[in-house]
Amino acid sequence: MNFLKLFSIMLCTSIVFSLAGCNEQGNDSANISSQPPLRIGYMICDSRELSKARFAPLTAYLSEKLGRPVEMVLANTFEFEDLARDKKVDLVHVNSIVALILQERFNLKLLAVDKRGRNGHKSTGTIISRKGSGIKTIQDMKGKSMIFGPALAPFGYMAQYAMMLEAGFDPETDLSFYAIPPGAAKHEKVIYGVYFGKYDVGAAPRIDYDLMINDHRITKNDFNIIAESVPMPYCTIGALPHVPEDVQRQVLDILLNLKKDETVLVEGEVLNVLKRMLTEGFVKAEDSEYDIIREKLKLCNMAPYRKN
């Protein structure tokens, strides 16, 4: 009888502690779920559908590591100023020009830079011509047609425009005409536009040029690289000033420690975070490394330093 009584007491005590533990866990979950979502604005690359697939794993991974909801906001380059002004995003993943525009106008804190390709966290812009065209230097481009990438592309527009100006070549008067392709996959359209002879020269990011060679869509023997810019910081993750500093530090720590084999569950599928994002990792953003981009933007009279 004494044994049964002791056993009953122990059983009741165990149940009480178990219930207390469940209660505590339930409260923690409630606290996590009640936090407002952290919204990350991703610059659309190629298309909305491809960008959603590309960035969903990182969004889910950050949510898992931070223990709070994280939401993806896909936007075009020209939409980020409004998103930042209206505080509709907290973090952004954008190219380095858009990052500097948001820093200048909304005090964006530069956190981390993507690593990808031959130059790590930096990239370059090239001017290419078709082999056999006889166009081998910037001066050979006089009177020729040119195709650029998007107007806010650091390595598909700004870098090339700056190289021409530095060589004493004015794109506005020395080219016969230039164009920017509409729609998605603009950098591929630049390369194919030159490849198929629609344009004499093109402004191609080295990363995209190398990728198309590696995918055997073109070969390096198809083109002359007329000029190539100095390496400059690649796509950048930043935080707007309303984001608490401790959250900024947490996000940066997660990014810097993200390993190549890290996976996350997205809509029932286990995905590799970095592989799906088409990047090799992140490094801490150093503001001074963006000075070269600031100089090029001023030379080209581009935002956020446009004078007229």
User: Domain for residue 93, yes or no?
Assistant: yes
Where among 181, 204, 229 does a domain terminate?
229
Residue 49: pLDDT over 70: yes
Per the prediction, the chain carries an average pLDDT of 91
Mark whether 46 and 103 lie in a shared domain. yes
Mark whether 84 and 104 lie in a shared domain. yes
pLDDT given for residue 308 in this prediction: 78
Residue 18: pLDDT over 90: no
Where among 229, 255, 274 does a domain terminate?
229
State how many domains the chain has: 2
Residue 294: pLDDT over 50: yes
Distance CA 84, CA 294 (A): 20
Mark whether 213 and 84 lie in a shared domain. no
Q: How many CA atoms lie within 13 Å of 240's alpha carbon, on the beta-carbon side?
A: 25
Q: Helices then strands (H, E): number in the chain?
A: 11, 15
- Evaluate whether 96 touches 154 at the Cβ level (below 8 Å): yes
pLDDT given for residue 34 in this prediction: 73
User: Domain for residue 11, yes or no?
Assistant: no
- Which residues touch 8 (CB under 8 Å, ≥6 apart)? none
Lowest mean pLDDT among 67-76, 176-185, 220-229, 278-287: 176-185
pLDDT band for 35, please (50, 70, 90 cuts). confident
* DSSP single-letter state for residue 222: G
Residues paired with residue 129 on neighbouring β-strands, in sequence order? 201, 224
Distance CA 58, CA 65 (A): 10
Where among 171, 196, 229 does a domain terminate?
229
- Evaluate whether 110 touches 97 at the Cβ level (below 8 Å): no
Question: Which is it for strands 91-94 and 38-43: parallel, antiparallel or unpaired?
Answer: parallel
Distance CA 97, CA 232 (A): 11
User: Domain for residue 3, yes or no?
Assistant: no
Percent of the chain with pLDDT over 70: 89
Mark whether 261 and 218 lie in a shared domain. no
DSSP 242-298: TS-HHHHHHHHHHHHT--TT-EEEETTEEEEHHHHHT--EEEE--GGGGHHHHHHHH
E strand or H helix that includes residue 178: strand 177-179
For the purposes of burial, counting CB atoms within 10 Å of the CB of 30, is it exposed (0-12), middle (13-18) or buried (19 or more)? exposed
Residue 10: pLDDT over 80: no
* DSSP single-letter state for residue 139: G
Distance CA 238, CA 271 (A): 24
For 75-95, write each residue's pLDDT tens digit.
999 999 999 999 999 999 999
Span 97-108, mean pLDDT?
98
Mark whether 112 and 237 lie in a shared domain. yes
- Which residues touch 237 (CB under 8 Å, ≥6 apart)? 91, 92, 93, 111, 112, 113, 114, 251, 255, 282, 285
**Angle, CA of 217, 156 and 286, to the nearest 5°:** 115
What does residue 114 show for φ and ψ, rounded to 5 degrees? -65, 145
For 188-201, write each residue's pLDDT tens digit.
999 999 999 999 99
- Which residues touch 107 (CB under 8 Å, ≥6 apart)? 240, 241
Mark whether 293 and 239 lie in a shared domain. yes
Lowest mean pLDDT among 5-9, 95-99, 213-217: 5-9
pLDDT given for residue 303 in this prediction: 96
pLDDT given for residue 142 in this prediction: 98
The pTM for the full model equals: 0.88
- Cis, bond preceding 304 (omega within 30 deg of 0): yes
pLDDT given for residue 33 in this prediction: 56
Domain of residue 135, CATH code: 3.40.190.10
pLDDT band for 224, please (50, 70, 90 cuts). very high
For 117-166, write each residue's pLDDT tens digit.
999 999 999 999 999 999 999 999 999 999 999 999 999 999 999 999 99
Can you give the residue range of the structural domain that contains 183?
125-229
pLDDT given for residue 11 in this prediction: 41
Residue 20: pLDDT over 60: no
